[in-house]
Amino acid sequence: MTDFTTLSENELKELQVKLQDKYDTYKSQGLKLDMSRGKPSPKQLDLSDEMLDVVSSKDVLKAEDGTDVRNYGGLDGLPETKKFFGEILDVNPSEVLVGGNSSLNLMHDTVSRAMFFGVYGSETPWGKLPKVKFLCPSPGYDRHFAICELFNIEMIVVDMKDDGPDMDQVEKLVKEDDSIKGIWCVPKYSNPDGITYSDEVVDRFAQLEAKANDFRIFWDDAYTVHHLTEQPDQLKNILDACKEAGHPDRVFMFSSTSKITYAGSGIGVLASSENNLNFFKKQISMQTIGPDKVNQLRHIRFFKNVENLKAHMKKHAEIIKPKFDMVLSKLESELGDKDIASWHSPNGGYFISLNTLDDCAKEVVNLAKEAGVTLTGAGATFPYGKDPRNRNIRIAPTFPSLEELEKAMNVLCVCVQLASINKLLSK
């Protein structure tokens, strides 16, 4: 088949009938497939089941420093947990604060605290200001945007380029407007584009001249070890870059083992300057006596060292790489020559970002839904759920089986073609 945009109206209508036929066949199969959320598959979760066995009633239930992991205490994590995550994130153990099972929770609470108390160095709690704004490189992660909506933080869309956010836009905005207090970033294998920020982008972030002296980068390094290839992307260390640029307190890094061990029972961490962490710890000490240390010990004893964790991540890649390949090969074979869609081919992470013709994404998602294939809602990858070009669709290939995924992609590709023809015919 050829480029849709070169077809005549009659040719398009002919094709429309054929595709509608195909669509109706799929629809009649009563499919129930889900590509909506970045969830690990059961096989991936199986990889960590032995973690349940390494801390048993027969084991010594003490941390390196003698702490009884069963009792209260350990506000910011066990020494070995801080060391382990420090190595993963290339920061000092003293720059790591260990949380509960959810890095999203740490992000939410960091914003919540900033609203009440400001951040280290703030003159005024953010919530006392007439207006607080965050920059949101988009497409981006819907749950980041949801936190802003919850706290009534105005979101400003910044375009994503192939090497990260459009830094010209970012630089101009933060220099001019002191109500801009933060920016959300997924710097490695970004959600959903799968892009890793270039060294230049990282340096420009570190060197930003911000009008707000308490401007912060929310650096969600969720996919830092989640490679799909043997030639993984490299991300420059933002904390070091910020220190060098004279902005040592600028960045909050977040990460977790949710997509390393168990999605619901992993460990979330916040890494930042000691000034930032000490500022938080005072507040956190009013909130909790400490996170679950038994689960920390479980993780540490399961992995023993970061080399083993990296080997573990290769097993994940073995399971999910074929799924990414399936999605990409379907996109290529079904949509590759038609000039109606474009997509990224990521080296890691959890998503493939598909752009349709303008104004088609909602229709595609609806058509797929009616045929039993659930996708992330169109618009979800933009603040307020509003994709200005209505074209971005986030594909999450990890949870379904390869077989299900093939079926789901067949449906999706027909839906994209149908919506595109409808669009072209309506012109």
Should residue 289 be labelled a site residue for its own copies when binding is judged by CB under 8 A? Answer: yes
**CA 16 to CA 289: how far, in whole Å?**
62
Paired tokens of 289? 């006596």
Give the nearest distance from C-beta 177 to its own copies in angstroms. 24
**CA 130 to CA 101: how far, in whole Å?**
34
Tell me which residues in 71-90 interact with its own copies (CB under 8 A): 71-74
Burial class, 41, CB count within 10 angstroms (exposed 0-12 / middle 13-18 / buried 19+)? middle
**CA 153 to CA 149: how far, in whole Å?**
6
Which residue of 16, 34, 127, 169 would you call a contact of its own copies, by CB under 8 A?
127
Give the nearest distance from C-beta 302 to its own copies in angstroms. 11
Nearer to its own copies, 133 or 293 (CB): 293
Nearer to its own copies, 256 or 392 (CB): 256
Q: What is the full DSSP assignment across 226-265?
A: -BSSSS------HHHHHHHTT-TTSEEEEEESTTTS-SSS
Q: Tell me which residue has tokens 């460990």.
A: 267
Should residue 294 be labelled a site residue for its own copies when binding is judged by CB under 8 A? Answer: yes
Should residue 37 be labelled a site residue for its own copies when binding is judged by CB under 8 A? Answer: yes
Q: What is the full DSSP assignment across 257-291?
A: STTTS-SSS--EEEE--HHHHHHHHHHHTTT-S--
User: Cis peptide leading into 139, omega within 30 of 0?
Assistant: yes
Should residue 295 be labelled a site residue for its own copies when binding is judged by CB under 8 A? Answer: yes
Give the nearest distance from C-beta 80 to its own copies in angstroms. 15
202 residue type, one letter = V
Tell me which residues in 252-271 interact with its own copies (CB under 8 A): 258, 262-265
Which residue of 6, 8, 28, 57 would you call a contact of its own copies, by CB under 8 A?
57
- The residues facing 389 across adjacent strands are none
Should residue 69 be labelled a site residue for its own copies when binding is judged by CB under 8 A? Answer: yes
- The residues facing 210 across adjacent strands are none
Give the nearest distance from C-beta 190 to its own copies in angstroms. 19
Give the nearest distance from C-beta 1 to its own copies in angstroms. 39
Could you list the residues that contact its own copies (CB under 8 A)?
37, 39-40, 42, 45, 48-50, 52-53, 55-57, 59, 61, 68-74, 100-102, 104-105, 108-109, 112, 115-116, 127, 143, 146-147, 149-151, 258, 262-265, 283, 286-295
